[in-house]
Amino acid sequence: MSTQTSEEHRWHPAPSAGGLAALLNSLPGLPDLLALGEPNHNHAAFPQRRNDLFRQLVEDFGFRSVALESDMLAGLIVGDHVVSGQGNLDDVLQAGFSHGFGARPANRDLVTWMREQNARRDRNGELRFYGFDAPMDWGAPSPVTSLLALHDFLSEALPDLPVCRETITELCGAETDWTNPAAVKEPAHSVGQRAAARQLRRLSDDLSTLLRTEVPRLATRTGFWEAELHARTAAGLLRYHAVLASTAENRLARMAALRALMMADNLSALLERERGRGPTLVYAHNSHLRPGLATMRLGDRNIQWWSAGALMSHRLGPRYAFLAGGPC
């Protein structure tokens, strides 16, 4: 993996808990988003070390939230549990994490500790949990869940929406058409360029635009932040499926770039939500968080794209700092 090491995109090896204060004090200022990477997802030591560092960040540096490489929509389940105790822990871990990450013992420990902390904290000091990934890996689901959730939110306050729920459901069709694993290798198996998908992209844009134009009316309503998340997710999934159906030479790189963009947009949204409460720790694979071009070998080809870390470093400048866990 390539790494840019200019002052704009500098990174540091992850410290021990004892060295965290010295490292943070060496930065120009406390970052709004402190990114901690892991070199792979197979070693329990890295997420356990993350837990130790997060506890110190909370206790000594005023951090109030953590974001993990997991589906942001699913993470809402974990977030509700951490704040209010909603749901059984085993069920929360299974439904609230993507990629099987709910089975990692360190994630159970993290969620348990955050819930215990919130049980004795007031609302202003509560700790919040987020996922920040898109609901995808290489393949992706249909946008039906997010489009219907966005439609439901808008319909509670606004008359005459540009589409009805039944039309959304009909246009989305069978979920298996969207999740067909053959589409990753063969664009012809993707539904992303079919007439129904193109119509869904227009309708998704209509609903998202309506949400944005009605912000003064809607922003104070319960569920507005989640509605924005659903609008981003639906649009991102439809863009992704359109590229999945493309025969362009750089198709795979564009798919990776779109996922990175969705990650970065989710991080920007949660930072806006956390503004004034304290910094956020984000934890994921090094390749997602390291500023610069990410690269991946697929068969006899190398693909490159700007990582979520590159996008966030560009957006935040020195307010973004990356700590590499293990070899980078």
Are 223 and 167 within one domain?
Answer: yes
Block residue for tokens 């049980």: 119
Residue 319 falls inside a structural domain:
yes
Residue type, 80: D
- Among candidate residues 247, 273, 308, the one where a domain is terminated: 247
Number of domains in the chain: 2
Q: Is residue 90 part of a domain?
A: yes
CB 46 within 8 A of CB 325: yes
Domain assignment present for 18: yes
253 within some domain: no
pLDDT at 12: 64
Indicate if 14 and 122 belong to the same structural domain: yes
pTM for this entry = 0.94
What range does the domain containing 237 cover?
Answer: 144-247
Q: How far apart are CA 308 and CA 314, in angstroms?
A: 10
Give a yes or no: residue 78 inside a domain.
Answer: yes
Gap between the Cα atoms of 187 and 30, Å rounded: 45
Is residue 139 a part of any domain in this protein?
A: no
Task: Please tell me the distance from the alpha carbon of residue 22 to that of residue 290, in angstroms, as a whole number.
Answer: 21
Asked if residue 233 and residue 320 are part of one domain, the reply reads no
**Same structural domain for residues 115 and 31?**
yes
Does 149 lie in the same domain as 128?
no
CATH of the domain at 289: 3.40.50
Residue 20 sits in the same domain as residue 103:
yes
The rounded distance, in Å, linking the Cα atoms of 248 and 233 is: 23
Local confidence pLDDT in tens for the 328 residues of the chain: 333 333 344 556 667 666 788 888 888 889 999 999 998 888 888 999 999 999 999 999 999 999 999 999 999 999 999 999 999 999 999 999 999 999 999 999 999 999 999 999 998 899 999 999 999 988 999 999 999 999 999 999 999 999 999 999 999 999 999 999 999 999 999 999 999 999 999 999 999 999 999 999 999 999 999 999 999 999 999 999 999 999 999 999 999 999 999 999 999 999 999 999 999 999 999 999 999 999 998 878 899 999 999 999 999 999 999 998 865 4
Q: Are strands 65-71 and 128-133 parallel, antiparallel or unpaired?
A: parallel
Pairwise CA distance, residues 323 & 286, whole Å: 9
157 and 209 belong to one structural domain: yes
Last residue of one domain, picked from the residues 193, 214, 247 = 247
Task: Judge whether 199 lies within some domain.
Answer: yes
116 and 13 housed in the same domain = yes
Residues 34 and 122 both lie in one domain: yes
How far the first Cα of the chain sits from its last, in Å, is 7
**Which of the listed residues 195, 222, 247 is the one where a domain comes to its end?**
247
Based on the fold, state whether residues 14 and 163 are members of the same structural domain: no
Q: Same domain for 174 and 269?
A: no
148 and 47 part of one domain:
no
Q: What's the 3-state SS for the chain?
A: CCCCCCHHHCEEECCCHHHHHHHHHCCCCCCCEEEEEECCCCCCHHHHHHHHHHHHHHHHHCCCEEEEEEEHHHHHHHHHHHHHCCCCHHHHHHHCCCCCHHHCHHHHHHHHHHHHHHCCCCHHHCCEEEEEECCCCCCCCCCHHHHHHHHHHHHCCCCCCCCCHHHHHHHHCCHHHHCCHHHHCCHHHCCCCCHHHHHHHHHHHHHHHHHHHCHHHHCCCCCHHHHHHHHHHHHHHHHHHHHHCCCCCCHHHHHHHHHHHHHHHHHHHHHHHHCCCCCEEEEEEHHHHCCCEEEEEECCEEEEEECHHHHHHHHHHHHEEEEECCCC
Kindly state whether residue 125 falls inside one of the protein's structural domains.
yes
